[in-house]
Structure 1
Amino acid sequence: MSATLITGAASGIGRATALALIGRHRLLLLDRDAAAVARLADEAPIAAAIEAGACRTAVADVAEPGAVAAALDAAGELGGFTGAVHCAGVLALGGLAEADPAELARALAVNAGGVAATLAALHPHLAAAGGGSVVVIGSNAGSTPRVGMGAYSASKAAAHMLARVAALEWGAEGIRVNVVAPGATDTPMQAAFGGPDAAAAAVAGDPARYRLGIPLGRIADPGDIAAAAAFLLSDAARQITGQVLVADGGCTP
């Protein structure tokens, strides 16, 4: 059984991915929120895997230099790493004219810099294993502009391109790198974006904000995105690399 890293593992899409992969992969679950990591470790399937030596948790910020590399190096008992799902990310909202430079810098540091750091930390492990698969959780905002989401959209566009460049550079080593780009998903981040009526508003759309609504009529469950990531990790996707799989219910034109 191979080892897989999941960043941003303690909530939302990261947590759903951990629960989807537990029992099929040895897991290193990384998140910057220590309290949330502790709660995750207490969930029955995760706790059982930790007890069996098939799962390990770590508290680390992907934007901190060397943090991901240190977590990987400390998890040698899990075996060689052949996969990763990078879910860590932050939301940044506001118009460009009044954008807070610090918020823009933080979005780029986590959403783009965190991807770059995670990919760089993973590369020697994947190369030593003879290949593997990495999935970066991006966003449909990384390819379609959204009013009031300039910093977030720019950071996710950078994340997409970093993943696609890595796919080109590392393909000869048997390393695949792909992106899953969700739209509105039922996570704490989505609730922070739209408040208690976020789901209904996302489905309906708002032309004034260049949001087209969701033709399938529902926002995604985190498990929907986790399933897409699990597919791209698997051998069923062995001929797929450098791609952006949009999983947004059809709202991207």
Structure 2
Amino acid sequence: MEGKTALVTGAAGGIGEAVVRALGEREVKVAAVDKDGDRLRETVSKLTADGLHVEAFVGDVTSSADVEKVVDDVERRLGPLDFLVNAAGVLRLSEARKLTDADWSFTFAVNTSGVFFVSRAVVNRMVERRRGAIVTVASNAASTARVEMAAYAASKAAATMFTKCLGLEVAKYGIRCNLVAPGSTETPMLSGMWKDADVARAASIQGVASAYRVGIPLQRLAHPDHVAQAVVFLLSDQASHITMHDLTVDGGAALGA
């Protein structure tokens, strides 16, 4: 992977930041993209201090015009993109019947339209070069119903099928499109759901019968690096004959579904 170029969305923290670091450690030039400019620059400063070739690009994945501009800037400054990782994501918790229009629209704008806008912008450039690999970070909730997660689960399911359809269409150009589906992972998104961290962590691991949710058979939450390593594998030449695959990284929480 040395010397190749990647674009990672949602790069200011959590799984996105872990992916940027994992790629940078393999001497990939990484364009770190996030809407939160202050947090992004702070993250990139840490990574560059560690000797990684990472540059910050502030951009909003919910705006197709902004996405096109960012991708143009990335390719002008870093060169043609070899890899794309769609890691930007948001979560709004609510019972399905109580979701607001704003909650629903915002969730799909980031988790689904964002994947569409960025993938379209990048893959149209990859097609001309007849090479490239894309990984979308989805969720095990895309295939497993969760209480109060209807918008999130539906948006991730849509992003999952979009990525697979895209992969089918661009395979003839030598472009691979895969997914990584995390479960409960130690990120700000997860901790933001918790009122009592110790109780919530134990519930995630042991399961919650009243929410029809099994626990995690491996008896631990994932670390962002667990997800990042799966992303790197699917981007790498080790996965050169894998496309349209959905790799679940959840400690067995979805029972292999």
Partner SS, residue 251 of structure 2 = coil
Aligned to 2:61: 62
CA positional deviation for 1:73: 0.5
CA positional deviation for 1:55: 2.9
Aligned partners of 1:213 and 1:251 also within 8 Å: yes
- Output aligned runs, 1:165-244, within 5 Å: 165-195=165-195, 196-197=197-198, 198-244=200-246
Q: Give % identity.
A: 38
Aligned-residue RMSD, C-alpha: 1.3
Aligned to 2:40: 37
1:134-172 deviation per Cα after TM superposition (whole angstroms, max 9, x unaligned): 000000001111011111110000010110000001000
Residue 93 of structure 2 is aligned to residue 90 of structure 1: no
Q: How far apart are the structure 1 equivalents of 2:230 and 2:212?
A: 26
Partner SS, residue 4 of structure 1 = strand
Aligned to 2:164: 164
CA positional deviation for 1:199: 2.2
Partner SS, residue 214 of structure 2 = coil
In structure 2, list runs of 5 or more residues that go unmatched: none
**Once structures 1 and 2 are overlaid, which stretch shifts more, 123-132 or 21-30?**
123-132
Aligned to 1:27: 30
Aligned partners of 2:32 and 2:56 also within 8 Å: yes
- Name segments (4+ residues, structure 1) moved above 2 Å: 44-49
What letter matches 1:4 in structure 2? A
Aligned partners of 1:40 and 1:46 also within 8 Å: no
Residue 13 of structure 2 is aligned to residue 11 of structure 1: yes
Aligned length: 249
Q: TM-score, normalised by structure 2?
A: 0.93
Aligned partners of 1:138 and 1:156 also within 8 Å: yes
CA positional deviation for 1:128: 2.7
